[in-house]
Amino acid sequence: MSNPKFEIKKATNGEFYFNLKAGNGEKILTSEMYKSNQGCRSGIASVRVNAPHDVRYERKGTSGNYRFNLGSRRRGYRRQ
């Protein structure tokens, strides 16, 4: 993916989350909610480390309506 961009947002409840956007501006990932901005930044760092490893994805859904969760080694996903 060329030129991905992470954007941190603050929700109305005061928690933080991030979106990952592709080079064309399309949103391709939305994170869970974090209590702090620093926690959100740690989540971004985790995505950068774990996203390249196919075994860390838990895939859900049916044909044409897919979702996934990206896990980390800390959460029990295998290292490739």
CATH code of residue 69? 2.30.29.80
Residue 79 lies in a domain: no
Torsion angle, alpha carbons of 12, 16, 20, 26, to 10: 0
CA 32 to chain centre: 8
What mean pLDDT do residues 16-21 have? 96
This prediction's pTM = 0.77
* pLDDT given at position 61: 81
Q: Is pLDDT at 78 greater than 50 in this prediction?
A: no
Helices (H) and strands (E) in the chain, counts: 1, 5
Residue 46 lies in a domain: yes
Q: Distance between CA 60 and CA 20 in Å, rounded?
A: 19
Residue 80 lies in a domain: no
Q: Which domain holds residue 48?
A: 5-74
Which letter does DSSP use for residue 1 in this model? Answer: -
When pLDDT is cut at 50, 70 and 90, the band that residue 27 belongs to is very high
Q: How many domains does the chain have?
A: 1
